[in-house]
Amino acid sequence: MKADIVTIFPDFFRGPLEYGITRRAQEMGLAAIQVHDLREFTHDRHRTVDDRPFGGGEGMVLKPEPLFECLESMGVAPREERLAGRVKQSVILLSAQGLPFTQRVAAELASLDRIVLLCGRYEGVDERVADFLADRELSIGDYVLSGGEMAAAVIVETVMRLLPGAVGNEASTQQESFTIDVKPKSSGAADSTCGSNGLLDYPHYTRPAEFRGIAVPEALMSGNHEEIRKWRRQRALEKTFRNRPDLLEGAALSAEDKKFLAGIKN
């Protein structure tokens, strides 16, 4: 996969792209990430990327010309081709007003050949970029950042770890919080070994078995696989019910899960 990031602060990405799985994915040749300095697509002495908003009001707005020119220099397929799904590329404008970036969106992006992330700054970006250059706007949460750089780093990391081979143990990315498309077991029941299939993850413990008088839950020490499975599934259900009850609606729940949930709701 190729990932392009367009920003007025290219140095910001020195840290985020050079650690962990993102670095590994690049070293393994699974991903090529290129950061583009928006100011290189300006034509004035001051390398101006922003201007005052028409109609008045607060702050400055990122101008459209450098963003259009930057994208045109990259050899990205035309917007009609991208929107029609004839090429596996997506141009994304980071925006607090965008559609929510979720694990499902991350999985979709990980299946593409190329993503381009446009980072806004100041009061935002000239709306013609959202309407005529980008294919979609994505938000990483209901809060306002000062720029799209942090959001781009979040998206790149989330997508990179879904590329086949990027994480040492691939099964681990299929059994995490929010993961939805895990194949059901042959019995037809929801896979209930863990917190996947739309639930939050189950709690994890490691050595020592007792720490400052706090012991690891007995079920995990039992060596009984069925007992461990049941314990993990129930804790995932409890945690999801407590912290993110909204997820239960879309989760794949077995009859056993539903019975357990009915018990804790009452």
Output the smallest distance, CB 69 to ligand SAM, in A. 18
**Exposed e or buried b per residue across 18-49, where buried means at least 16 C-beta atoms within 10 angstroms of its C-beta:** eeebbebbbeeeebebebbbbbebbeeeeeeb
63 binds ligand SAM (CB under 6 A): no
Question: For residues 118 and 236, which CB has a smaller minimum distance to ligand SAM in the complex?
Answer: 118
Do 89 and 114 form a contact (C-beta atoms < 8 A)? yes
Give the x-and-dash track for 76-115 against ligand SAM (CB under 6 A).
------------------xxxx------------------
In the region spanning residues 151 to 170, those forming contacts with ligand SAM, defined by CB under 6 A, are 151
Residue 228 as a binder of ligand SAM (CB under 6 A): the answer is: no
What H or E segment, with its residue span, contains residue 229? helix 225-243
Residue 109 structure tokens: 């992006």
Q: By CB under 6 A, which span of 12-20, 140-148, 170-178, 251-259 interacts with ligand SAM?
A: 140-148
Indicate left, alpha or beta for 148 from its phi (over 0: left) and psi (-120 to 50: alpha).
alpha
Query: Can residue 121 be called a binding residue for ligand SAM (CB under 6 A)?
Result: yes
The strand pair at 2-7 and 32-37 is best described as: parallel
Q: Whose CA is closest to 20, among 168, 127, 139?
A: 168
144 binds ligand SAM (CB under 6 A): yes
| Distances 145 to 81, 154, 229, 250 between C-alpha atoms, Å | 31, 12, 40, 29
Q: Are 139 and 99 in contact (CB under 8 A)?
A: yes
**140 binds ligand SAM per the rule CB under 6 A:** yes
Question: Which one of the spans 109-117, 118-126, 189-197, 211-219 is the region binding ligand SAM (CB under 6 A)?
Answer: 118-126
When binding is defined by CB under 6 A, the residue of 71, 105, 119, 166 that contacts ligand SAM is: 119
Q: Which residue is nearest to ligand SAM (CB)?
A: 120
Residues near ligand SAM (CB under 6 A) are 94-97, 119-121, 123-125, 139-141, 143-148, 151
